[in-house]
Structure 1
Amino acid sequence: MLKVGDKLPQFEGTNQDGETVTSEKLIGKKLVVFFYPKAMTPGCTAEACNLNENYEYLKKQGFQVLGISADSVAKQKKFQEKYNFEYDLIADENREIIEKFGVWQLKKFMGREFMGIVRTTFIFDENGICTEVIEKVKTKEHAAQILKG
């Protein structure tokens, strides 16, 4: 998994509108990249909505926000439209970006083991250097976790 001090990995992804988003275009502003397991599920919805409710404040603090999951572009579009998210959601169906950040890991749930996205948020400075990794994401208080730093 990426750690503090690491550089933003180079990547290219497709957002909810079918547009290409590249890591190069994200340098120059502080960046929040949050990985979530699955669009439209309770925890992911709570996390994404909390960030959206605080989006204007995050922007005023100089942050841009980017959500990434292995969902399809169509699923990301539905998720974005249903909750009017003001930031991009990247569809990473082939898990290229997810793997570069190291969040595709063995998970355990109700006695079952399986591979999946570990809910994690990475914060980068204007130069694309990771300044914080939030592994214990509080879905309903996530913006506060980001802003405390």
Structure 2
Amino acid sequence: MTDVRLEAGDAAPAFTLTDQDGAPVSLGDYAGKNVIVYFYPAAMTPGCTTEACDFRDNLNSLASADYQVIGISKDAPAKNKQFQEQEGLNFPLLSDEDLAVHQAYGAYGEKKLYGKTVTGVIRSTFVLNPDGTVRLRLYNVKATGHVAMLRKKLGID
């Protein structure tokens, strides 16, 4: 478990994870680009499907504003592949089965679920600058309406 919480201006923790096709993807692959990295609890669950489809439906406008999107979960690559195909997702879904990247970003730990304190994935989103620093960090986000809120914060119409 971790008490890490990234702040604006912090260096984003580097990572290399396996995507839904079994290929390695590194944060370094996106150097010089604006990147939205979001952590979701589990593929093919209602909230995560809502959030992923919201990113899918807004990907063109985010890309037009020069943002790339990466989703990260603890799911195995095969499950992320199934999720991608089932929902027509058009961005990489990375597998962090040992939760090391989740912990480095503060996206795993204690959270409230139905009024109880549990340990698990904290639905979180990070906007990273082209130099690899954190521009915006959002913890405990709601799946519904998240991308619209993010677009507003980023000034994307």
Relative to the length of structure 2, the TM-score reads 0.89
Q: Which residue of 2 aligns with 1:87?
A: 91
Deviation at 1:103?
A: 1.1
Structure 1 vs Structure 2 CA RMSD: 1.3
- Structure 1 residues 136 and 103: alpha-carbon distance in aligned structure 2, compared to 1, 3 A threshold: closer
CA distance in 1, matches of 2:82, 2:121: 20
AA of the residue aligned to 2:117: E
Q: Deviations over 1:99-134 (max 9, x none)?
A: 110111112323543211100100011111111112
Other structure's SS at 2:144 match:
helix
Deviation at 1:136?
A: 4.7
CA distance in 1, matches of 2:6, 2:43: 23
Of the three residues 8, 11, 17, the one matched with 1:13 is: 17
AA of the residue aligned to 1:53: D
For structure 2, the residue ranges without an aligned partner over 5 or more in a row are none
For structure 1, the residue ranges without an aligned partner over 5 or more in a row are none
Q: Are residue 58 (structure 1) and residue 71 (structure 2) matched?
A: no
CA distance in 2, matches of 1:121, 1:16: 19
CA distance in 2, matches of 1:130, 1:117: 20
Relative to the length of structure 1, the TM-score reads 0.94
Query: Any runs of at least 4 consecutive aligned residues in structure 1 with deviations exceeding 6 A, and if so which?
Result: none
